[in-house]
């Protein structure tokens, strides 16, 4: 018997046979101590190999940098921006105050939704775990058998695509754009009564109160919006109103005609109230820009009042389209 450090082995009469026995033993030992552990290590490390097997899950980093250049100059910068990374594999949601690096994001393709929900009033969000169903909805209430909504807050929204690459950093820059449109109305009063006008209020129908993150536009929905007006500081005998809405349903008549009717209530200085209605459906037809400005002339006499649209124009802020 001989001792080789691992145990005793029999010594045979034939040296060559003894060498062969020891050779087989040592080869088996090398295989057990080297090859098998090496194979295990290869299996454990397979998810980091360059071939990116479909059976493995990979992760990357996302640097989120919301683009807020579309915010109006007179609007306050949102304190928080909500970011939604949505995919069939996994969803991520986080709120950021500035450019933010997020690690450990599964490396797949995402639909990215962004908005400034924090601090907004009279609005709710639903279906935000799916880009097909994500929407915002304004508060509504019923009065005298009619459905009313409220002015839209300063909501900004974005919808874009993102591909996260394994073991790399990608930049996501969702461009936040206004979800609202503005309706400016000037009531130009021709007072032949000699009494004077105290106030002018209005109610406008056909106002959309739902907003789609998929379309980045108002969803077909219809409610009334009540509003007031204030004397125009630059124009004599003019009362002005400014309304923020998601939309007025231009060309969205799939479920039936949606009219834009304006009910006007004028109160004179002696307390009398005069009411009149006017159809603005034609005025709002095709209104898809940011702003529309409407001028309505009110003629007030001893026998009552009459109203007429004397002009309107639309714009995207700086450029006027007549």
pLDDT tens sequence across 108-148: 999 999 999 999 999 999 999 999 999 999 999 999 999 99
Asked if residue 203 and residue 263 are part of one domain, the reply reads yes
In a domain, 130, yes or no: no
Maximum mean pLDDT: which of 71-80, 126-135, 301-310: 126-135
Confidence of residue 316 (pLDDT cuts 50, 70, 90): confident
In a domain, 50, yes or no: no
Is the separation of the CB atoms in 96 and 73 below 8 Å?
no
Q: What is the count of structural domains for the chain?
A: 3
Asked if residue 268 and residue 219 are part of one domain, the reply reads yes
Give the residue, 78 or 238, on which the prediction is more confident.
238
Q: Is residue 257 scored above 80 in pLDDT?
A: no
Whole-angstrom distance, CA of residue 97 vs CA of residue 102: 13
For the chain, first and last CA: distance in Å? Answer: 109
Asked if residue 235 and residue 163 are part of one domain, the reply reads no
Structural domain harbouring 40: 2-44
Q: Is residue 254 scored above 70 in pLDDT?
A: no
Asked if residue 293 and residue 219 are part of one domain, the reply reads yes
Query: What are residue 203's DSSP bridge partners?
Result: 226, 263
Is the separation of the CB atoms in 75 and 154 below 8 Å?
yes
Is the separation of the CB atoms in 155 and 179 below 8 Å?
yes
Token pair 């007031």 in the structure block, residue: 228
Asked if residue 218 and residue 115 are part of one domain, the reply reads no
Q: Is residue 256 scored above 80 in pLDDT?
A: no
Q: Is residue 251 scored above 90 in pLDDT?
A: no
In a domain, 26, yes or no: yes
- pLDDT value for 211: 97
Asked if residue 233 and residue 187 are part of one domain, the reply reads yes
In a domain, 134, yes or no: no
- pLDDT value for 46: 40
Whole-angstrom distance, CA of residue 167 vs CA of residue 261: 57
Three-class DSSP labels, the chain = CEECCCCEECCCCCHHHHHHHHHHHHHHHHHHHHHHHHHHHHHHCHHHCCCCCCCCCCEEEEEECCECCCCCCCCCCCCCEEEEEECCCCCEEEEECCCEEEEEEECCEEEEEEECCCCCCCEEEECCCCCCCCEEEECEEEECCEEEECCCCCCEEEEEEEECCCCCEEEECCECEECCEEEEEEEEEEECCCCCEEEEEEEEEEECCEEECCCCEEECCCEEEEECCEECCCCCCEEEEEEEECCCCCCCCCCCCCCCEEEEEEEECCCCEEEEEEECHHHHCCCCCCEEEEEEEEEEECCEEEEEEEEEEEECCCCEEC
Q: Is residue 53 scored above 70 in pLDDT?
A: no
Asked if residue 189 and residue 169 are part of one domain, the reply reads no
Q: Is residue 47 scored above 70 in pLDDT?
A: no
Asked if residue 95 and residue 201 are part of one domain, the reply reads no
- pLDDT value for 11: 46
In a domain, 191, yes or no: yes
Asked if residue 200 and residue 167 are part of one domain, the reply reads no
Asked if residue 299 and residue 217 are part of one domain, the reply reads yes
Q: What average pLDDT does the structure give for the chain?
A: 84
Mean pLDDT of all residues in 224-241: 96
Asked if residue 262 and residue 236 are part of one domain, the reply reads yes
In a domain, 53, yes or no: no
- The percentage of residues in the chain with a pLDDT greater than 70, rounded to a whole number, is 79
Asked if residue 73 and residue 189 are part of one domain, the reply reads no
- pLDDT value for 41: 38
Q: Is residue 312 scored above 50 in pLDDT?
A: yes
Confidence of residue 31 (pLDDT cuts 50, 70, 90): very low
Query: What are residue 112's DSSP bridge partners?
Result: 85, 160
The tens digit of pLDDT for each residue in 157-179 reads 999 999 999 999 999 999 999 99
Q: Is residue 5 scored above 70 in pLDDT?
A: no
- pLDDT value for 55: 64
């Amino acid at each position: 018997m001989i001792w080789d450090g691992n145990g005793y082995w029999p010594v045979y009469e034939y040296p060559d046979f003894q060498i062969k026995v020891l050779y087989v033993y040592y080869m088996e030992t090398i295989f057990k101590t080297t090859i098998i552990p090496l194979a295990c290590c290869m299996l454990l490390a397979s998810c980091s190999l360059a071939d990116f097997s479909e059976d493995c899950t990979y992760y990357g980093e996302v640097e989120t940098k919301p683009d807020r250049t579309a915010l109006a100059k007179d609007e306050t910068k949102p304190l928080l921006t909500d970011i939604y990374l949505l995919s069939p594999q996994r969803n991520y949601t986080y709120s950021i105050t500035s450019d933010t690096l997020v690690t450990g994001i599964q490396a797949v393709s995402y639909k990215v939704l962004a908005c400034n929900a924090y601090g907004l009033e009279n609005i709710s969000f639903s279906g935000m775990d799916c880009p097909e169903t994500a929407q915002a909805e304004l508060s509504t209430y019923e009065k005298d058998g009619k459905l009313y909504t409220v002015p839209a807050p300063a909501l900004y929204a974005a919808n874009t695509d993102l591909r996260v690459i394994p073991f790399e950093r990608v930049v996501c820059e969702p461009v936040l754009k206004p979800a609202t449109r503005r309706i400016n109305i000037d009531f130009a009063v021709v007072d032949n009564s000699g009494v004077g006008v105290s106030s002018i209020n209005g109610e406008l129908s056909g106002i959309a109160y739902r907003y789609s993150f998929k379309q980045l536009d108002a969803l077909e929905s219809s409610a009334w919006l009540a509003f007031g007006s204030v004397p125009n500081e630059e124009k004599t005998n003019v009362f002005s109103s400014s309304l923020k809405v998601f939309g007025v349903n231009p060309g969205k008549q799939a479920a039936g005609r949606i009219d834009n009717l304006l009910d006007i209530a004028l109160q004179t200085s002696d307390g009398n109230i005069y009411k009149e209605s006017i159809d603005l459906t034609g005025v709002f037809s095709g209104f898809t820009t940011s702003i529309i400005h409407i001028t309505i002339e009110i003629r007030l006499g001893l026998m009552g009042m009459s109203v007429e649209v004397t002009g309107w124009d639309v714009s995207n802020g700086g450029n006027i389209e007549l």
